[in-house]
């Protein structure tokens, strides 16, 4: 049976990409002529070429969506691949000051991770037990942490608010967010009826790593405490694993 994800017309996709490429070339040439014969200035015209793979990825995702009638991993992957390119291209085309706006390249990956933090409706993965798809919530919560970090840096760069005025090591919260997500996931695992199995233990071990690092960073404690605390936490989890039944 043909995989519906890849059953769309590849020739049509190539034609669409050529259309994008042709339009970008025409626009770039027009802007260069305008810059040559007028006072119009467009320094970063080359950033237009970043739009070619970005629009190509969006076009592929749209074709897959039209063919399957739903948002699947191919559609989501196409969106992921285009978001960062579109952001970088927009920053250059708008001639933004990178010294101020650089947190955007942190915010967008955070959004991408957040969008990948759940199983898509109707997918085979969604039917699997949580213990077999633990990477999804971790990706999502990590994305939320990265997003928090990027927004914090951006509002500081724009002069809106300096998070360090309230909490000097505020950025450590971005590490604690996945740790909090790990605790939530641990309760979900226990509520699923699987008991304290190895999936829950590995999840708590990862949670402890993020939590310990986050707490030490937030409080400014001596980093030499990290290793012994981690050893103790690992030992406790191993003991819990022995008596998990």
State the chain's mean pLDDT as an integer: 84
CA dihedral 110, 82, 185, 121 (to 10 degrees): 150
- Does 221 have pLDDT greater than 70? yes
Better-scored residue on pLDDT, 214 or 65: 214
pLDDT reported for residue 5: 46
CA atoms of 107 and 148, how far apart (whole Å): 8
Question: What is the mean pLDDT of the segment spanning 218-236?
Answer: 85
Q: Tell me, what's the pLDDT at 32?
A: 75
Determine the pLDDT at residue 100: 96
Q: What per-residue confidence (pLDDT) applies to 4? A: 47
pLDDT digits (tens, 9 = 90+) for 1-15: 445 444 445 556 666
The pLDDT of 175-203, averaged and rounded, is 84
Percent of the chain at pLDDT exceeding 70: 89
Model pTM greater than 0.85?
no
Q: For 58-96, give one letter per residue: b (16+ CB within 10 A) or e.
A: bbbbebbbebbeebbbbbbebbbbbbbbbbbbbbbbeee
Sequence spans of domains, the chain: 1-96
């Amino acid at each position: 049976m043909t995989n519906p994800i890849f059953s769309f017309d590849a020739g049509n996709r190539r034609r669409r990409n050529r259309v994008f490429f042709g339009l970008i070339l025409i626009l770039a040439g027009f802007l260069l002529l305008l810059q040559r014969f007028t006072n119009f200035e467009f320094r970063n015209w080359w950033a237009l070429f970043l739009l070619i793979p970005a629009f190509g990825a969006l076009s592929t995702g749209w074709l897959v969506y039209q063919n399957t009638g739903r948002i699947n991993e191919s559609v989501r992957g196409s969106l992921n691949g285009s978001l960062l390119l579109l952001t970088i291209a927009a920053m250059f085309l708008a001639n933004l000051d990178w010294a101020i706006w650089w947190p955007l390249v942190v915010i967008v990956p955070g959004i991408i991770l957040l969008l990948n933090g759940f199983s898509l409706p109707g997918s085979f993965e969604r039917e699997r037990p949580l213990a077999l798809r633990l990477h999804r919530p971790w990706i999502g919560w990590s994305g939320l942490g990265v997003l928090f970090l990027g927004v914090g840096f951006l509002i500081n760069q724009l002069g809106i608010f300096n998070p360090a005025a309230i909490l000097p090591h505020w950025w450590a919260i971005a590490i604690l967010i996945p740790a909090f997500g790990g605790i939530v996931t641990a309760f979900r695992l226990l509520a699923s009826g699987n008991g304290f199995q190895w999936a829950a233990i590995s999840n708590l071990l990862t949670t402890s790593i993020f939590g310990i690092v986050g707490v030490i960073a937030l409080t400014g404690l001596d980093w030499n405490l990290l290793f012994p605390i981690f050893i103790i936490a690992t030992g406790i989890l191993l003991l819990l694993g022995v008596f998990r039944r």
